[in-house]
Amino acid sequence: MSSSTAIASVGPRSDLQPMGGTANGTDEQYVTFTVGNEEYGVNILAVREIRGWTPESRLPNLPDYVRGVINLRGIIIPIFDLRARFGGGPTQVSKRHVVVVMQVGERTRGILVDAISDILAIGHEEIKPPPDVDNGLVDAEYLSGLYTAENRMVTLLSVDRLFAGEHGEPETALRAASAAAPAP
């Protein structure tokens, strides 16, 4: 844990160490969680805490994936509904739903997911690039890669891009992201 954290903070170094096992220093840890039938993962370094669902206060005139705001020990953080973000409609919340609180740049925000499933150590080499999806079909800019855990597929998310639209300049963020994506 400690070694991987230290390396991870420096950045992926897969070019130096061709990898194989999980004990290798190039691993990064991912927290994985489920939304519906799909499993997603985010880098553990971005995750600050995981908490049970508490009722939110709605914010006016925002897309349905902005669930609202909650009080996280005195700071007010927005909650994003990942299901709604991926077009699955708003989540019908229950007490078993979970909020993953993440640090994105200077901001703290939470994502609402169905359940936490695992913490995986994933080597850089094991991450497959997302398939050549049509930019219009899937907003692929927030997918950072795919990983196979046993026989499940875990979709790794790029946290900062996932929220790129909520910094107040959605247009530029999206354009920059799509410009960075390889041309089909």
DSSP H/E element including 119: strand 115-122
- Interface with other proteins: number of residues (CB under 8 A): 26
Q: Which stretch binds other proteins (CB under 8 A): 1-9, 22-30, 60-68, 87-95?
A: 60-68
Q: Which residues pair with 67 in a beta bridge?
A: none
Q: How far is the CB of 79 from other proteins (least distance, A)?
A: 10
Sign of CA dihedral 180, 155, 160, 57: positive
73 binds other proteins (CB under 8 A): yes
Across the beta sheet with 152-157, the strand order is: 115-122, 28-35, 38-43, 152-157, 143-149
| 120 Rama sector, left if φ>0, alpha if ψ -120 to 50, beta otherwise | beta
Q: Which stretch binds other proteins (CB under 8 A): 15-23, 141-149, 162-170, 174-182?
A: 162-170
61 binds other proteins (CB under 8 A): yes
Which CB sits closer to other proteins, 102 or 113? 102
Q: Which stretch binds other proteins (CB under 8 A): 13-21, 43-51, 88-96, 104-112?
A: 104-112
Which CB sits closer to other proteins, 74 or 184? 74
Across the beta sheet with 75-81, the strand order is: 47-52, 98-104, 107-113, 75-81, 66-72
Q: Which of 14, 108, 117, 158 binds other proteins (CB under 8 A)?
A: 108
Binding interface with other proteins (CB under 8 A): 54-62, 68-71, 73-78, 107-109, 166-168, 170
